[in-house]
């Protein structure tokens, strides 16, 4: 009737439970003994949770920290980091300086630009438009619109933000406001749009409509990245054609002149695939060089590293020695982009790593994953500052890369502070680049809550540090 398999399970004919469990007095005594143990464990868990919350502040989900924004930024960070594994290093051309000492410039040909990205608000914790200082930045890039049906697309809510941000120009007549289109993980519309002249014409007309209808000062094209992981080998050429056609349209406009800028990659592996630099130089007003996310945890790169190093670290060789601001900015210049058109990107956020061994915590120390702080390996400056202050941590300043990092047990954090950004702003100024681009307003300490060093009570302390150098 039953299979051999069923016969393995035999019904017990007698109760073989320990008889002492059936004794009520014994059970009561056992309960009394377990009560203090249970109380101790519960108290420990509660206290540990509170201490953990104090040690690792809960990130505010503003426009920068919103999950969808983080996931998009993660795509770029992973792409940058994974170029380590297959980067082809060639000897740095002699025209690219390997070591430039920082000094104050005696002469700057024109006013340095300070481009600030502002992410659309996503919830009640977000940086509000009325909290933005209109005199802090020279340009505001409102991020991000999409490309849908070969045209710029913003939903009604985001169109409202665009409308509400324009009046900031009434408080600063020199402020330029641009609409940034695309962004990491938001580039699906670009490949089809650039494919032919008809599609590009439709897009350009939508640009003109936005310039006229919403009184913006230009557009920032953030396609990450032409030709990357695509079977279409003509994307590089088609993107260049788009820039050419937009420039021709601008030149034909008697009244509606507007700025054309492009957010571009920093690693030379991507630059070579994505851009015709010498042609771009003819068409764009300037580029926003995304010189951050050089080092980020992935399974291919399971080690710590500086988010936005100014120079290479002393132990970096071959391709790794190219992953820094100095190399990337000069590489763009070497390929044909005027220095005055290279706007160097600086982050107001950091990257976190979980160390494999808390005793091994230098640069390129083995890591198991993202750190606990922030989310997905990203943490805003205000979150990092609160963490450092609350745990009485003194950051380590690496004099090779002119960048700080901090360590607590297994937590490893690369970030920028006022000191490092002052050095980097001086570097930009002394080398006659076009200025600095900051990503983003949202990730800076815009409420002035940080009470560490010279930033006590200062709103937007990181961006202010850059501005002070440029204005000095």
What number of residues does the chain have? 472
Distances in Å between the Cα of 375 and the Cα atoms of 71, 76, 123, 183, 401 are: 9, 15, 17, 19, 25
Q: What is the DSSP letter of 364?
A: T
* Cα–Cα distance for residue pair 99/121, rounded to 1 Å: 40
Omega prior to 376 cis, within 30 of 0 = no
Which of 131, 170, 224, 269 is catalytic? The answer is: 224
Spatial contact of 397 and 388, defined as CB atoms under 8 Å apart: no
Q: Which residues contact 386 (CB under 8 A, 6 or more apart)?
A: 57, 449, 450
H-only helix segments in 99-216: 156-165, 168-171, 189-193, 197-214
Element (H, E) at 259: strand 259-264
Taking a C-beta distance cutoff of 8 angstroms, is the pair 111, 131 a contact?
Answer: no
Contact present, 463 and 416 (Cβ < 8 Å): no
Does the annotation count 245 as an active-site position? no
Residues 312/324, Cβ–Cβ less than 8 Å: yes
Instruction: Provide the annotated active-site residues.
Output: 224
């Amino acid at each position: 009737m039953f299979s051999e398999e069923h016969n393995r399970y035999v019904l017990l004919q007698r109760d073989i439970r320990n008889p002492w469990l059936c004794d009520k007095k014994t059970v009561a005594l056992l309960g009394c003994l377990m009560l203090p143990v249970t109380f101790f464990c519960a108290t420990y868990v509660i206290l540990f949770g509170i201490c953990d919350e104090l040690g690792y502040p809960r990130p505010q989900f503003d426009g920068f920290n919103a999950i969808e924004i983080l996931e998009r930024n993660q795509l770029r960070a992973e792409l940058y980091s994974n170029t380590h594994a297959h980067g082809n290093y060639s000897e740095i051309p002699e025209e690219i300086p390997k070591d430039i000492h920082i000094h104050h410039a005696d002469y700057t040909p024109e006013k340095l630009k300070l481009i600030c990205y502002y992410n659309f608000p996503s919830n009640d914790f977000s940086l509000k438009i009325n909290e933005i200082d209109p005199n802090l930045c020279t340009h505001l890039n409102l991020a991000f619109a999409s490309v849908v049906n070969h045209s710029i697309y913003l939903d009604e809510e985001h169109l409202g933000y665009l409308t509400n941000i324009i009046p900031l120009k009434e408080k600063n007549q020199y402020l330029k406001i641009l609409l940034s289109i695309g962004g990491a993980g938001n580039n699906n519309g670009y490949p089809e749009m650039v494919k032919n002249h008809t599609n590009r014409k439709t897009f350009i007309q939508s640009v003109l409509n936005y310039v006229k209808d919403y009184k913006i000062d230009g557009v920032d094209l953030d396609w990450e990245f032409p030709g990357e992981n695509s079977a279409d080998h003509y994307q590089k050429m088609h993107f260049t054609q788009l820039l050419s056609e937009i420039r021709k349209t601008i030149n034909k406009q008697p009244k509606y002149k507007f700025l054309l800028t492009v957010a571009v990659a920093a690693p030379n592996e991507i630059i070579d695939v994505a851009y015709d630099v010498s042609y771009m130089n003819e068409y764009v007003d300037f580029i926003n060089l995304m010189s951050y996310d050089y080092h980020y945890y992935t399974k291919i790169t399971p080690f710590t590293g500086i988010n936005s190093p100014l120079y290479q670290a002393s132990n970096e060789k071959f391709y790794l020695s190219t992953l820094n601001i100095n190399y990337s900015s000069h590489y763009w210049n070497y390929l044909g982009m005027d220095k005055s058109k290279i706007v160097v990107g600086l982050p107001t956020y950091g990257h976190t790593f979980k160390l494999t061994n808390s005793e091994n915590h230098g640069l390129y120390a083995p890591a198991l994953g993202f750190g606990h702080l922030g989310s997905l390996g990203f943490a805003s400056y205000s979150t990092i500052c609160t963490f450092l202050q609350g745990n009485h941590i003194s950051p380590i300043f690496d004099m090779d890369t002119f960048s700080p990092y901090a360590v607590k047990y297994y937590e490893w954090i690369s970030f920028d502070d006022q000191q490092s950004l002052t050095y980097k702003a001086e570097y930009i100024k002394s080398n006659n680049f076009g200025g600095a681009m900051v990503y983003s307003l949202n990730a800076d300490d815009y409420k002035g809550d940080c009470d560490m060093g010279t930033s006590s009570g200062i709103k937007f302390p990181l961006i202010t540090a850059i501005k002070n150098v440029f204005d000095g």
